Every structure is written in structure tokens, then in C-alpha cells.
Structure 1
């Protein structure tokens, strides 16, 4: 069997990105190309990667490896294309979750210029993946080899489920900056997220429940409401106005939005405002008060408090750290 080395595969990927060596090798930010990479190894055979890019030129990133691994990946912002040798071209989209199985593979990622991209991924060794599946005492018997067959790459994809959306913020921001119990805290959340993801993709438990609670038409209306909300981030409509604009009743909007995105309409808006604020501050063309206004915060102290709660640092620290 081919070697399973999660960390070497990620090394190859980040080596191919147009970042400085310091950023590729450490948990640092690249102020020139506006990106960050945060990597944590909570236990052997697992790696958590939080990566955010804002590249000023469109680029293609090619990765080839003879190693093997499993990856649970969450695209939080941005989009792009992935070309897999010997397979069709696939897309990654915001608010989507993917399970990848790969070995002896060659892929090419396409990123567009000046389009923020943010993902959180959990890399899992084949040994750890098979060990987890071997402990199951019911359902079909799965294994890495059985799922992948003769292919070099296999992908499953679905929208991020509410349960996943609630876990993801705990893997970012303050939990990364806790010096003493950081790995222990992250390991617990990673294991919970991996358990939910594998249960959903391989056995369809959460996916089946999620699909049964809202029609496809209602889901389309909820996503339309989300798009309207993001387009009018600086001055958003009220909940009643948003429901009318998306042509869905207010009750369905509130319940369906939480089911689809794991949080309320305006909690989601706040999170996306803060993500945009992070990008604006990292870009360096806006001061803190300008940034707060640009993302729709009329009260500066409320903005600073919300930013600090989500990212574990003051917005002014972003300016000093450039």
C-alpha cells in the first residue's frame, strides 16, 4: 500500500502556493498577498488546516503526491475549480463540505484574482480512517481501499450542515490562541467534526434528516435570501423585507435559514461582516473606523467587541501587525 502521510501532502500544496517560505512553513500571515495559513497537529495522523487567501493574480496550483490520505474540507468563502488527472473537473463552492479520498494523485487548483478564499480542512491518515471504520459494529463494512477502488481520487460533496456550522467557529479564532490546552481543545472539536462528517457521507444519517425537513424549493429561496443579505451587507433589509424579497414567508425563512446555515439570519450576517472586516483590515487600505462603517457597524465599540470575540484579537491589532 502507498505511504499515508497527511502532513507531506499539505506541505506539497502550500509549497505550490505563491506565498513566502515563512508563511508556508509556519502559522503566519503573508501581508503582501493577504493570506494566512494555520496548521495544528492535534494527534499523529490528524492535521487541522485553516487557510485564507486573497491573491492579486489568478493562478493555478498543481500538486502531485505518491502518498495517500482522507480529507474532510469545508469551503467557507470563495470558489474555484479542481482538475484531477484521470477524472472530471470539479468545483468548490461557499458553504459546501467535501470528503476526499486520494492516493498517488495529481490535481490542479484554479484561483481567481482578488477573490477571498477561506477553507478549514481536516486531514486524516489512511490508518486512522480505517481504524475508525473498523470499530463499527453495524452497517456496511467500509475501508479506504474499498471506497476508492482503483481510482486515484474520489470526492463526496454536500452543503455544510447546521451541526457542522456550529462546530467550525470553535476551530478558528480564540481556540487557536490558547497556549496551554489548545491541542486538546482542538482535538476534541476535530474528532466531533470528523465523526459527524463521516457519519453523514458514508451512512447518510444527518443528510437524510436534513433533506426531510425542507423542500428543494424552500432551500432555493433560503439561499436567495442569503445572497440578498450579503449583497446588502452594509444596509441589510429587515427580516420581513428579506422574506418578501426572497418570496418566502417569514416563519419559513427563520426556521429554514437556521436549518440550512446553523444559525439565525442576523447572526450569519454578523459573521460574514466580520469576515469582510478581516479582509479589509488585512488589505491595509481601510482604518478601523472605516472598516466598521464599510461592513455595516454604526457603533465602533460593538464592532470591536464582536471582532475580538470572533478572532481573539482587537481590530487595531490587525493594523499594527501588518
Structure 2
């Protein structure tokens, strides 16, 4: 499995430097002032955090005869990947994809002048089969059964607030050396469990409903999401948002729910709370964080935060202060 990541890093022209902590990759020739960190745990799970800024449009070609399952979380930016002649898949901010690959060629495309952040969790095939066996029959949910004769298969879902918190904890580990590996792997295992349950139980259920929106309209749905995130402090109305991206409000509502599993403004509320968590965890006051995510009424903000995370925003600030 690790040969797949090696091939990707080789194509990115990233030198590898082995350390006691995660391997810290050098900066790519196509990137600027960003890094990729890589951890391989004792169980064989590989965890890769990428934080890149492409100077110009970049295409990375990868070829490998190895096989693996990968959970990939796109946290910032966008791109595309085409594997072994299959349809091109967009790398969508705020999404998680489960990818099964073997004996493949892949082409990754990244847009110049933009940041790209992601977390990838690679699973050896035998470990994927071991875990997937807990969700149904191995002969139907195992790696080979899911891929059949293909070299690539992808499943994708939007991330939720719990996932965002787990990713934040994984990327901001407070420990070093052996304790770091234990902590990071525990967060990775939580993410693996969450998304194997989501993807595999869905496969075990009745047939999948066809998409209600066209591929062109799907790209407009992604654009609508980007507008919401850019204007989080002062979002447009539903009608204005639909007009901005060139859809009618019905298609926007239906397509957004299909893509992200919730309504436009339920999604916006979740993203606001996740941003507030980051701001508070970074040392910002509760009132400042509330204002930056678009809340004028502090009590409304506190109620939404408590509903999302189960405790008040002031408790997070106090907890952070106590740690320092």
C-alpha cells in the first residue's frame, strides 16, 4: 500500500526525510511554503496531511501496481482526479471520499494560485477487509467484491461537525513521539469507523437513487457552497444565491440536499459553528468569534454552538486557557 503514496510523492518531486515523529516531506517544486507530513502506524495505517499552495496549475501523474483503500478529506481548495480512464472526479471542499484502487494510473489536477489542504488515511487491503467484515458479509463488502473487475471505485459524502472536530484534533496533536502516534491513530480509527459505517451500510441497503441534478448543475451547487463559505458573516438569501450561480431555487434546494445531506442553511449553520470552534480554539474571544461567523445576537450564537457541540462556547475558551 505504501508504494501508492511513494509514487505520488515521487511525482510531486518531494524528498522524504525519516524522523522519529511523522515523516515531514520537503516542499514540492510546484508548491510554495507548504508541507506534507506522513505517518505510518504500527498497524500499517498511513496518515498523510497535505498543506499545499500551487504557484501555477499543476498535474501530477501517478502509476502503481499496488492496492489500497483510502479515506480522503478535502478541507480547503479544489481539484480533480482521473483514474485509469474513468470519469474525472472533482476534489470537493468539505467532502470525504472512500477510494478503492489497484493496479492503476492516475492524474491529479490542482489549480494554481490557490491553497489545498487535505487529510488522507490509507488502509492496507487486509485491514480494510478485516474492518469491513463488521458491517456485513465479507464476500459482498470486501475490497475485491466492491471493486469487482475495476481498478478504481469512489464513494463520497459531505463531512459533518463531528468529522471536522476529529480532523482538527488529528491535525493538532498535543503529543510527540510514541504518544503522538497513538493519539493520531486513535483519531484516524474514529474517522475510519464513521465513514465505513456510512458507506458500507448504505451499500448493504436498497439500491441507490439516481441523481436529480445534472453534472453541470452539480458544479453550480459546489459554486453555491463556495459563495456561502466566503460570505459566512453576511450570507445571501436563497433566491439571491440561486441567481448568483445560475440555478432556480428549486434546483438549488434539491441539489444541495443531495450533495451535502442537508438544506442550504443547515449546512451554513454547521460550517459557521465549525469556524467558530477554530477561532475559539485559536484564542479568539467568544464575542469576536460570534461576529466573524455572522451572529449579532450572542445568545443565539451560544445556543447554536451548544446545540452543535454539547457545551457553551465559553467552556471551550476556558478549557483552552486552562491548558496554557
Indicate the TM-score class for this superposition, using the shorter chain for normalisation: 0.5 to 0.7
State the Cα deviation string for residues 20-47 of structure 1 (Å, max 9, x = none): 5559x93156397222111112333211
User: Residues of 2 paired with 1:144 and 1:259: CA distance?
Assistant: 34
8 Å Cα contact 1:162/1:258 also seen in 2: no
Aligned to 1:202: 200
8 Å Cα contact 1:225/1:242 also seen in 2: no
Aligned to 1:290: none
Mind listing any 5+ residue stretches in structure 1 that lack a counterpart? Answer: 209-215, 217-221, 249-254, 278-295, 298-305, 314-322
Aligned to 1:10: 5
Structure 2 vs 1, CA of residues 268 and 109 (structure 1 numbering), >3 Å: closer, same or farther?
Answer: same
TM-score calculated relative to the size of structure 1: 0.65
Q: Which residue among 181, 184, 190 is the counterpart of 1:183?
A: 181
Structure 2 vs 1, CA of residues 113 and 129 (structure 1 numbering), >3 Å: closer, same or farther?
Answer: same
User: Residues of 1 paired with 2:223 and 2:6: CA distance?
Assistant: 38
Task: State whether structure 2 residue 265 is matched by structure 1 residue 268.
Answer: no
User: Residues of 2 paired with 1:242 and 1:136: CA distance?
Assistant: 41
User: Residues of 1 paired with 2:113 and 2:275: CA distance?
Assistant: 22
Shift of 1:59: 1.7
Task: State whether structure 2 residue 111 is matched by structure 1 residue 112.
Answer: yes
Structure 2 vs 1, CA of residues 140 and 163 (structure 1 numbering), >3 Å: closer, same or farther?
Answer: farther
Query: Counterpart of 2:183 in 1: which secondary structure?
Result: helix
Mind listing any 5+ residue stretches in structure 2 that lack a counterpart? Answer: 207-212, 214-220, 243-248, 250-261, 283-291, 294-316
Query: Counterpart of 1:27 in 2: which secondary structure?
Result: strand
Count residues in correspondence: 260
Aligned to 1:211: none
8 Å Cα contact 1:162/1:260 also seen in 2: no
Structure 2 vs 1, CA of residues 155 and 56 (structure 1 numbering), >3 Å: closer, same or farther?
Answer: same
Query: Counterpart of 1:204 in 2: which secondary structure?
Result: helix
Aligned to 2:288: none
Aligned to 1:302: none
8 Å Cα contact 1:257/1:264 also seen in 2: no
Shifted more, 189-198 versus 264-273: the winner is 264-273
User: Residues of 2 paired with 1:188 and 1:201: CA distance?
Assistant: 20
Shift of 1:183: 1.2
Shift of 1:190: 1.1
User: Residues of 2 paired with 1:104 and 1:139: CA distance?
Assistant: 22
Task: State whether structure 2 residue 62 is matched by structure 1 residue 86.
Answer: no
User: Residues of 1 paired with 2:231 and 2:278: CA distance?
Assistant: 12
Shifted more, 33-42 versus 120-129: the winner is 33-42
TM-score calculated relative to the size of structure 2: 0.65
Shift of 1:228: 4.4
Query: Counterpart of 2:24 in 1: which secondary structure?
Result: coil
Structure 2 vs 1, CA of residues 163 and 21 (structure 1 numbering), >3 Å: closer, same or farther?
Answer: closer
Instruction: Tell me which of the two structures has the higher relative contact order, counting C-alpha pairs closer than 8 angstroms and 6 or more residues apart.
Output: 1
Aligned to 1:56: 55
Mapping for residues 120-135 of structure 1, pairs under 5 Å? 120-135=119-134
Query: Counterpart of 1:167 in 2: which secondary structure?
Result: helix
State the Cα deviation string for residues 152-207 of structure 1 (Å, max 9, x = none): 1111112113332231111102x1653441111112111111011111111139x9
Provide the alpha-carbon RMSD of the alignment. 4.4
8 Å Cα contact 1:84/1:108 also seen in 2: yes
Aligned to 2:190: 192
8 Å Cα contact 2:135/2:201 also seen in 1: no
Aligned to 1:97: 96
8 Å Cα contact 1:69/1:103 also seen in 2: yes
Structure 2 vs 1, CA of residues 258 and 186 (structure 1 numbering), >3 Å: closer, same or farther?
Answer: farther
